[in-house]
Structure 1
Amino acid sequence: MNPRLAESTSPYLRAHAGNPVSWFPWGEEAFAEARARDVPVMVSIGYSTCHWCHVMARESFDDPAAASEVNAGFVAVKVDREEHPEVDAAYMAAAGAFTANLGWPLTVFATPEGRPFFAGTYFPPQPRGGMPAFRQVLAAVREAWEERRDQIDGTADAVVSALAEVRAGGGAASALPSIEQLADAARVLASREDREFGGFGGADPSAPKFPVATALRFLQARAVREAAAEASAVADRALAAMAASPLRDDVEGGFFRYATRRDWSVPHYERMLTDNAQLLEVALDAGDDETARGVAGFLLDVLQQSSGGFGAAQDSESWIDGARSEGGYYARDAAARGDLEPPAVDGKVVTGWNGLAIGALARAGARLGEPRWIEAAQWAAGAVLETNVTADGRLVRASLDEIPSRASATLADYGQLAGGLVRLALATGDVAYAVRARELVAACVAPDGSLTVPGGGDPVLAAQGVGAPDAASDGDEPSGPAALADAALSLWMLGAGDAWREAAERVVGTYASAALGQPLAYGALLRTAAALVVAPRQVVVVSEEASGPLATAARGIPADVVAVVAPAQADAFASAGFSLFEGKVAQGGVATAYDCRDFACRLPVTDPADLSG
């Protein structure tokens, strides 16, 4: 058993601790060993619920002969992409120079100084379909290292130089998109709709199909619904199609990662926290309460850990009749599942992803009258804020079994957690969550207004000069800049001050041109842009009774801010610098609603009938 991996805070690394490969975790120690031995580094990147990562592990990393060749000629480094997203992004960008078929497992060969010189993804144990065997790749790389070092150094220098040019070429700030430009972007996005089966995709029946929740969230933005209703309807149709398809587990309610067919059939059976947290919000805004309740149930009953935090994902594979089965568990009905061991859950509590779940559950719990969901969000927030924080107050990327990882938090972790905490503050009336959110966003905004990761990001990449491209495009989650812009704008809507709106505007302006040109890749940023072009609607109910008729009516309004607070809580928000709550009282001791829209506040009302949608 490899103690370097067995003691990791990553379930993915722990799963490889028994391999005969002498793995190192990501860190300077591995590169120092490579320099001492004068051998290249083989960096293998994956994650615990990745099917083909499991396959390559069984075929090659568990094979004593292949492991012997790795150990003799390389220093092997195993990386959990979910724990080290910056490392994954940097090496994925580098891998693009060698292969167009990017994905995981990702296999990158680098010099002892960390400069990538060759990369690929899955390599089979025997040559197959035009792919060389893993051991053939090892032999070729080792021969090149020993016989053609100059060529390797030249390739590595070129790759690192290209990455540096990409990072240096960040966009210059531009004007904010107009509502017309955003409507046009939504229509471009809508033009990619699969008219037969919903969602985004072409006519190829065998092409993989993803939910792309960030893009759906943009189409559901209020400004888009008002300016391009026909485009906005694409999101509702996509959600309905996915919810009625095999992509959704009709027993436990969660959505699978993606479908391998155009009609949403033959899913890739892993179930991710990121997808389900965002699709909960998509369902909520589509008015599909049944789907929302199913997703919330999956989050609470399957992914929430004993610590309170939410695990990263549930595996696609499980043991059935003594053999590994991909998807076999999910093919059974509820009764049959009861006799099976469920697929493993990656219990790693990722900071930002928990922020997405906290925000979604808080908002959905308030809207649908489910206090258990709000309590679950509070429990998760407590777990993250207690465990995933260093002694000096900085966030770490993740934790496992209440043990924090050494991996640095990313901009996305700060932004996604801050956004979730703002929404939790609104659902609970507890200003402490909003105050903490403000601190997190402030920590990421430099004096010149640029965004910076507290602590400087991954120290090994920084020392090697190999960094990830600076981009606000979304993968399967809101990017760091997009998440921070959303959180900053949410703070402004609470009355935290114009500096927060200006911060959001700077981020959106920086990436506006790229986002308008590629709306499918920038849904989260465009959603914030859409919130910037319309006047906010803010509804505050001051009441000692959190579930009274006026509070219930207010929670059904599709406003940007809906807060139900006790009089003491309103005072606490105002005292903490959130001016939206100033002067908000329960008039005559009766529950009172304050409806502010178009930058003007209407007269307070006490009758639910006076609160119009």
Structure 2
Amino acid sequence: MFLSVGYSACHWCHVMAHESFEDDDTAAYLNEHFVSVKVDREERPDVDAVYMEAVQAATGQGGWPMSVFMTPDGEPFYFGTYFPPAPRQGMPSFRQVLEGVRGAWTDRRDEVAEVAGKIVRDLAGREISYGGPEAPGEQELSQALLGLTREYDPQRGGFGGAPKFPPSMVIEFLLRHHARTGAEGALQMAQDTCERMARGGIYDQLGGGFARYSVDRDWVVPHFEKMLYDNALLCRVYAHLWRATGSELARRVALETADFMVRELRTGEGGFASALDADSDDGSGRHVEGAYYVWTPAQLREVLGDEDAGLAARHFGVTEEGTFEHGASVLQLPRQDEVFDAARIASVRERLLSHRAGRPAPGRDDKVVAAWNGLAVAALAETGAYFDRPDLVEAALGAADLLVRLHFDDQARLTRTSRDGQAGANSGVLEDYADVAEGFLALASVTGEGVWLDFAGFLLDHVLTRFSDEESGALYDTAADAERLIRRPQDPTDNAVPSGWSAAAGALLGYAAQTASAPHRHAAERALGVVKTLGPRVPRFIGWGLAVAEARLDGPREVAVVGPALTDEATRALHRTALLGTAPGAVVAAGTPDSGEFPLLADRTLRQGAPAAYVCRDFTCDAPTTDPERLRAALNG
């Protein structure tokens, strides 16, 4: 069997498909000698995870497209990533690889079977170091912060060298750590990284939204694909940064990123598409990376005229030499002494964006992934609430409604993907259950509609019964009744998105805070045991787990807002103040006294007929207040 794993927005996946899979001779050879299977890693992350672990163990590296040769039982014996159509720089051609594998399979079958069996046995022995059920405390979180400080790039923001990925989950940890402890260094790293990214080419200075990563250390040249998950996570990060600091830049970026998601990724059914490709037609029939986004000085003059083109070039860092390829530049906002006229810059942006809309657009992967839509629901709900944008909250509600209508079965089991209003065939994995629950919990806090808390509870019951190891509390990425692979995947470390493990810990903790459920709290704390082990050692790769640990140490705080109705002005003021509190992981329940929608509201009464807010931990509350300023003080720092 030949297994090729890739995804829609992967540049080299398209290259190999065009060079080899679409070549008549190569396709004929494949069809004659192999059973070929093409897998979208975003639809089957479990298949991707299992075989990527094998590739990395065998070769020391991985990537996409991932090329795996295996026995009919799915046991791998030869691996690679991209193979060129002809030998290149010491790399064999794809045809040479096929012929070599066929020869080994035909002439040395016993040897191949032995190799495959050894690989599977080695994988079975690669259990993670769980670390036990004890959650991290002050010492581990301080060590994690120290580790991040060592890896921080003070000149450019972010962590490590090129390529640089947006450290969304690490920034959430830094913001929460600062809110709980007052550590100014944590806030400074978060602020500086967010500013450098927002000023760099990784951020779309015309249309909003972030590319997947920067190929350089300075955030200048992105890999131009735009993923839903990055933009959902970063939208929330910048909204939380604004909540903590009042930064106007953070406010602008959060809103522009939210608007980008709604404008360019929302599907006709109300969900959000997965990605926009990096490549597009450059106007001459060639598909070129970044063609939709980059500009030359001549192109600026064509659209703006000489005077405004000069202004735009200075403002956006467009040079004659170019910052990308062939003299083109990626738009940035470099720091400079010149003060630009805001109205004139706004006009320039509008004209450039309008012209860009006429270029051939990048392809869009229209599949709706449950987990990533859960992240988008949380981001849009909170951003809409913070900035008085009910349209964004409505967009979050639309996506949540689609998930319930299309991705739930009659037992509240999740389907991983849908497209064009049709549910896919693949079962949800842990990150789907956890991230959708996280989105529903945020939506419940923002809207005061307890039904979203109920839906989150249904999903988390599956986490407890189908994804958890009852004895240790460890979590698996696939359900106990999922399709059996050569190994049951299990990875607590964050990658481009929160791991299913840490996302589940966060959702379980938030649900427990809303409901006083001891089993959910206990499961969250046991799941955080891995953060105690990994947080001090590899903090960059377990940022969301660290953020959840911060919430646990803070309580998290529970805020009950009671009033005659959420449309009442005084009730709305308390509710908004509660949502804007920076206490790590705080949950909010809002509604009428004893409405029954939120357990947190039970026995909470008005104060002399006026709306009131109660700040609690473990359902034990401080004296209620009717004053938004007192509530703000109780929830900040």
Q: TM-score category by the smaller chain?
A: 0.7 to 0.9
Q: Report the secondary structure of 2:151's partner residue.
A: coil
234-243 vs 593-602, which moves further:
593-602
Q: Is the 8 A contact 2:615 2:624 kept in 1?
A: yes
TM-aligned CA distance change 1:75 to 1:121, over 3 Å: same
The one-letter code of the counterpart of 2:292 is Y
Distance 1:154 1:91 in 2: 18
Deviations 1:235-280 (A, max 9, x none): 2211111001000001221000001111112210011111111111
Cross-structure match for 2:158: 199
Cross-structure match for 1:325: 288
Q: Report the secondary structure of 1:117's partner residue.
A: strand
Deviations 1:131-175 (A, max 9, x none): 1111111111111111111221111011111111114x5524143
Cross-structure match for 1:466: 486
Task: Pick the aligned partner of 1:415 from 416, 423, 434.
Answer: 434
Normalised by the size of structure 1, how large is the TM-score? 0.87
TM-aligned CA distance change 1:43 to 1:224, over 3 Å: farther
Cross-structure match for 2:448: 429
Q: Mapping of 1:6-405 within 5 angstroms?
A: 41-167=1-127, 169-202=128-161, 207-222=162-177, 226=181, 228-287=183-242, 288-321=250-283, 322-331=285-294, 333-405=352-424
Cross-structure match for 1:456: 480
Task: Give the length in aligned residue pairs.
Answer: 559
Task: Pick the aligned partner of 2:538 from 501, 510, 518.
Answer: 518
- Structure 1 residue 320: deviation in Å? 3.1
Q: Is the 8 A contact 1:586 1:592 kept in 2?
A: yes
Distance 1:90 1:387 in 2: 28
211-220 vs 424-433, which moves further:
211-220
Distance 1:426 1:552 in 2: 10
Distance 1:59 1:247 in 2: 29
- Structure 1 residue 583: deviation in Å? 1.9
Distance 1:131 1:300 in 2: 43
Q: Report the secondary structure of 1:77's partner residue.
A: strand
Q: Is the 8 A contact 1:223 1:530 kept in 2?
A: no
Deviations 1:393-429 (A, max 9, x none): 3111111111111112101111111111111001111
284-293 vs 387-396, which moves further:
387-396
Cross-structure match for 1:24: none
Deviations 1:491-547 (A, max 9, x none): 121133222211100101145212332111111111111211223333332232445
Normalised by the size of structure 2, how large is the TM-score? 0.84
TM-aligned CA distance change 1:537 to 1:174, over 3 Å: closer
Q: Percent identity?
A: 39
Distance 1:472 1:457 in 2: 20
TM-aligned CA distance change 1:468 to 1:314, over 3 Å: farther
Distance 2:611 2:166 in 1: 41
Deviations 1:196-242 (A, max 9, x none): 1110124xxxx211112122222222467516431342122111110
Distance 2:356 2:474 in 1: 51
Q: Is the 8 A contact 2:46 2:478 kept in 1?
A: no
Cross-structure match for 2:577: 553
Q: Is the 8 A contact 2:55 2:61 kept in 1?
A: no
Q: Report the secondary structure of 1:45's partner residue.
A: strand
Distance 1:404 1:429 in 2: 29
Deviations 1:365-390 (A, max 9, x none): 22222111111111001101111123
Q: Report the secondary structure of 1:98's partner residue.
A: helix
The one-letter code of the counterpart of 1:299 is M
Are 1:535 and 2:555 matched, yes or no?
Answer: yes
- Structure 1 residue 468: deviation in Å? 4.7
125-134 vs 534-543, which moves further:
534-543
Distance 1:454 1:68 in 2: 36
Q: Is the 8 A contact 2:614 2:621 kept in 1?
A: yes
Q: Report the secondary structure of 1:399's partner residue.
A: strand
Q: Is the 8 A contact 1:444 1:453 kept in 2?
A: no
Q: Is the 8 A contact 1:106 1:120 kept in 2?
A: yes
Distance 1:209 1:511 in 2: 23
TM-aligned CA distance change 1:358 to 1:602, over 3 Å: same
Q: Is the 8 A contact 1:251 1:334 kept in 2?
A: yes
Q: Report the secondary structure of 1:516's partner residue.
A: coil
Q: Which runs of 5+ in 2 are unaligned?
A: 243-249, 296-351
Cross-structure match for 1:8: none
Cross-structure match for 1:482: 502
Cross-structure match for 1:501: 521
TM-aligned CA distance change 1:338 to 1:425, over 3 Å: same
Q: Is the 8 A contact 2:476 2:488 kept in 1?
A: no
TM-aligned CA distance change 1:340 to 1:260, over 3 Å: same
Distance 2:409 2:574 in 1: 42
Distance 2:548 2:577 in 1: 26
Distance 1:233 1:180 in 2: 21
Distance 1:455 1:58 in 2: 36
Q: Is the 8 A contact 1:45 1:79 kept in 2?
A: yes
TM-aligned CA distance change 1:597 to 1:445, over 3 Å: closer
Distance 1:96 1:114 in 2: 17
Cross-structure match for 1:19: none
